[in-house]
Chains A and B, each alone.
Chain A
Amino acid sequence: MKIKNKLLVGFGFYTLLAVAMGCFMYLELHTIISRLAYVKSADDIVNNALETRRYEKNLLLFNDKGAINELDHYITLLRKNIGVLKKEIVKKIGAQEFAKLSGQIDEYEQSIHAIARNPADKGLIEKVRIIAREIQATIDAVAGGERASIDYLLAHLNRSMILLLFTIAAFIIAGAIINMKLAASISNPIRDLEEATKRVGGGDLSWRSELTGRDEIASLGMSFNRMQERLSAARQSLELAITELHEKQEQLLESEKLASLGRIAAGVAHEINNPLAIVNEKAGLMQDIIGISDEFQNKDKFMSLIQGIVASVDRCRAITHHLLGYARPTESVMETMSLNDVLADVKGFLHKELEDKRIAMETNFPVDLPQIRSDKGQLEQVVLNIVRNAIEAVSEGGHINISSGMKDSKTALISIADDGPGIPQDKVKHLFEPFFTTKGKKGTGLGLFVSYGIVKKLGGMITAESKSGRGTTFTIQIPVDFRQ
């Protein structure tokens, strides 16, 4: 029920009660007043009759001529008052007796007048007395008893008062109950809603208002729930966005770190190349000279020492040249190509290594993969670095899986998974840093660093996922059409 209707019901109830009580009071008062009027008229009739008898005595006993006027006056009054109560009297004694009474009064009046004219008529006097006594008797019977009805009236009034008190009490109690019910039916849902808003305000977004029904508050509750759901959804997507933002920020920091490391490393590589070249030539010259000179003590020893220097220079050169590759500011050569061709080429290059280690390489290249525009040579270099790492990581007879796909319409994916020993969690974040290697002298620790730089330059991203003992998966994301 709508609140308006509830209020109307409350108001209607009160109005009805008030009207009922008014009617009741009116009826009670009406009864009492009409009763009182009856009593008064009956009293008048009795008085009129008494006065009539008094003047009748004056006329009959003392022959008072003036009494005839008084008698006329009181008989008229008597007749009038009987007329007033005609209905009640008829009810009491019946129409016949009433007619008889009226006839007796008429007869009485005529006889009185006759006696006034002829006071000596004893028979007439006797007749008047008899009629008068009969009238008196009838009137007493009809109205005399009514004096006693004062008691009845009092009793009636008392009863009415008690009834009235009861009615008022009932009125108050029923009113209170109904009002309480109505008030509760309005305020309970409001409290419910208030509770809900408080909870939600306090951050409990899962709270729902449980209001049902058809009134405004219930529909408010439902709107509240809808608002609430929207709010939760908005908060969820906000939280998601924030997490994403954090991830992006971390990636950005990481890539900035790697980029500046790259610049520093390239700078160092440049500076080192010249002194390295001097060492290289000096050692080389020593080798040349000793090589052509006659046998002398420790000649072989010197040769092998120099061989060591030259080999170390070679290692340094591998590092500096690798690093300079990373810093390569050349424009990439963009061409339209199939990613799957790139992967197949890499597989071809590594054919021998794969066979030597009896590695099963699975490939999963969807034929409907769209063509992409990127630098083929550089992409090949990246995939080569990663697959080579995988080959070095897995044991004899291990597995490598290369697959391609689309992340969305703008980004292609290459994923390279192996079942090698994996990388401990605390090392994963160092993977792309320069010189991070677990291969000792055999590795420069630059393969992934360089690959990272290349993919970055091509507008993409490399991520690694690995758990110790569970293999490693590298994922390369590359834009389908990268505009520098």
Chain B
Amino acid sequence: MSKKEIKVLLVDDEVEFVDTLGQRLKMRGLKVDIVYDGEQALSFVKKTAPDVIVLDLKMPGLDGMEVLREVKKLKPDVQVIILTGHGTDKDDEQARKLGGFDFIRKPADIDLLVVKIKEAFSEKIERAMTAITFAEAGVFETAERIIKKDE
């Protein structure tokens, strides 16, 4: 896959936490941006598309679940990993239904988090490739032939 830097956006109102985590991820070769609430996160996503968002659930103002929903509307390709200290299994389920990539509980092991971010990034790339393949197929082949091929 591409050697390109993974762009990660961290969204969390816990400044001490998110700043430290940001530094650690940078040390592990990721490109990190940090915002401290949901609104900032959405305006950031509108301007520049990160590859992966690491998102807290419980935040003042717009909460993580709403941010996830909006992001998936704005930029469906962007992968979102929920990282929360409050999450229940129900939140886990809901986040996955809304298109979240994974659900991790705080405190998290940094190596695990990095692995998940990389997986999310590969997922994003793969989807983009499939989309391109489909687009090409759409140009050159008729719908009927795709169905036949699938069979």
Contacts and interface: CB of A to CB of B under 8 A. Distances in A.
Majority-rule SS of A interface residues: helix
B105 A313 contact: no
Nearest to A271: B85
B85 A280 contact: no
B102 to A, nearest CB: 16
A324 B105 contact: yes
Interface string B69-87: 0000000000000000110
B61 interface: no
B85 A270 contact: yes
Interface in A271-308: 273-274, 276-282, 284-285, 288, 292
Nearest to B87: A324
B93 interface: yes
Contact of A281 (B20, B86, B89, B90): B20
Interface in B79-130: 85-86, 88-90, 93, 105-108, 110
A322 to B, nearest CB: 11
Contacts of B89: 328-330
Given A328-B88, A330-B88, A274 B106 contact: yes
A274 B14 contact: yes
A279 B88 CA distance: 22
Contact of B17 (A278, A288, A313, A329): A278
Contact of B108 (A277, A292, A329): A277
B96 to A, nearest CB: 13
Interface stretch (B21-29, B34-42, B132-140): B21-29
Contact of B86 (A273, A316, A317): A273
B88 A273 contact: no
Contacts of A280: 106-108
Interface of B: 14, 16-17, 20-21, 23-24, 27, 85-86, 88-90, 93, 105-108, 110
Interface of A: 270, 273-274, 276-282, 284-285, 288, 292, 313, 316-317, 321, 324, 327-330
Given A278-B20, A327-B88, A328-B88, 8 more contacts: A270-B86, A274-B17, A276-B106, A277-B14, A279-B107, A281-B20, A330-B88, A330-B93
9 contacts: A276-B85, A277-B85, A278-B17, A279-B107, A284-B110, A285-B24, A317-B107, A328-B88, A328-B89
